[in-house]
Amino acid sequence: MAFGVHGAAERPHPQRSLSERRRDALRVEVAREAVRLFLARGVAATTGDQIARAAGISTRTLWRHFPTKESCVRPLLAAGLDAATAELRGWPPRTDLPDFLLDSCGEATLRAADPAVLDLIRMTLTEPALRAVWLQAHDDALPVLCALLAGRSGADPDDLRVRVHAATLNGALRAAAEEFAQRFADDPSIPDTEIIDCLRTALAAAAEGLPY
Amino acid identity of residue 127, one-letter, is E
Radius of gyration of the chain from Cα atoms? 18
DSSP codes, 34-48: HHHHHHHH-TTT--H
- pTM for the full model? 0.83
pLDDT for res 14: 54
CB atoms near residue 189 (< 10 Å):
5
DSSP string, 100-142: HHHHH-HHHHHHHT-HHHHHHHHHHTT-HHHHHHHHHHHHHHH
In order along its 212 residues, the chain shows pLDDT tens digits of 333 333 333 334 457 788 888 999 999 999 999 999 999 999 999 999 999 999 999 999 999 999 999 999 999 999 888 888 888 888 888 888 888 887 776 556 656 678 899 999 999 999 999 999 999 999 999 999 999 999 888 899 999 999 999 999 999 999 999 999 999 998 988 887 788 889 889 989 988 878 87
Element (H, E) at 78: helix 74-88
Q: Looking at residue 140, what is its pLDDT?
A: 94
CA distance 94 to 31: 39
- Coil, helix or strand at residue 88: helix
CB contact at 8 A, 100 and 85: no
